[in-house]
Homo-oligomer: A and B are copies of this chain.
Amino acid sequence: MGSNMARNLIEKGRELVVYDVNEKATEQAVNSKKAIRVNSPKEVAEQCDGPVFTMLPNNQIVLDVYSDPQKGLIAGAKKGNYLVDCSTVSPETSKTLHERSTAAGVNFHDAPVAGAEPAAITGTLTFMVGGEKSSVKNIEPFLNDMGKKIFNTGAIGTGSVAKICNNMLLAICMLGTSEAILMGERLGVDPKMLTEIINVSSGRNWSSEIYNPVPGIVSTAPSARNYSGGFLVKYLTKDLGLAQGTAHAGQTSTPLGSTAHQLYQIMNRSGYSDKDFSIIYKFIKGEKP
């Protein structure tokens, strides 16, 4: 994700300071001569006058990258500059980062993205940004370089809330689509035709149309390449855990979201963790990963 976002910024004429624990991830940017690589998040922040963007795998890593006293972003950020986290994390994490940034005289926004890798590549991400409108304004030109749509969702943390809501619904639709097609398939309806029917009917959804879990129906979907790549079970399992924390924070009953979470947790420990999440179709079918 991050390297694609960097490329889009560069293509729009920006000059970058970059860092990644995996050096290869920064190679393309550095080779373009429009980015310099430094040795820590702190150095990124020290050398940037414009906003600093982060795209990281989970709560703990995000907290470390921002708050490490020796190497963290906040330690290096210039007063009044902007730190913008595009990771999918809990709203509490976003609020914590905001508090710590504010205490250091730095602005912070949670700005997770929709659209996944394809949208990152084409620079058509959707950003859900938490925080004051007047402050968001200042980072919008940069977001527009990487995306096509910006939603200012409300207070700090609401960007993360919105992202988590979408991903929970994604898991539900994927599992529901898998159940429905498998049910028909077992009683003699061709999965491809059943998909066509669903896609012109009231059951249609992104998973049935774009990311169908049954191999051979959508040629670009991970199911067509043995569920490799895509959005891995381990990451969706993490997001569903965030969703349950978020539901609990608002005392919201999520019967399907929690059932999906329980099943993905079992899958995640049963050998499916590094496969695309649409493999849940195989799991309920009783097939090995």
**Residue A169 lies at the interface, judged by CB distance under 8 Å to chain B:** yes
A187-B158, A256-B259 as given contacts; A241 in contact with B248, CB under 8 Å: yes
**Residue A198 lies at the interface, judged by CB distance under 8 Å to chain B:** yes
A255-B284, A258-B259 as given contacts; A176 in contact with B183, CB under 8 Å: no
Pairwise interchain contact B244-A265, C-beta atoms closer than 8 A:
no
Restricting to A45-86, which residues have a CB under 8 Å from any CB of B?
none
Interface residues on A, range: 35 or more
CA distance A278 to B49 in the complex (A): 49
CA distance A91 to B189 in the complex (A): 12
Pairwise interchain contact A183-B254, C-beta atoms closer than 8 A:
yes
- Residues in B with CB closer than 8 Å to A170 are 201-203
Residues of A within 8 A of B (CB): 91, 114-116, 126, 128, 149, 151, 153-155, 157-158, 161-162, 164-170, 172-173, 175-177, 179-184, 186-190, 193-194, 196-198, 200-208, 210-211, 241, 243-263, 265-266, 268-270, 283-286, 288
Q: List 26 A-B contacts (CB under 8 A).
A: A151-B196, A153-B190, A154-B188, A157-B187, A158-B188, A162-B189, A165-B181, A165-B198, A167-B203, A168-B183, A168-B203, A169-B198, A172-B256, A175-B255, A183-B254, A186-B251, A187-B250, A201-B206, A202-B207, A202-B210, A203-B206, A205-B206, A245-B248, A258-B258, A268-B286, A269-B286
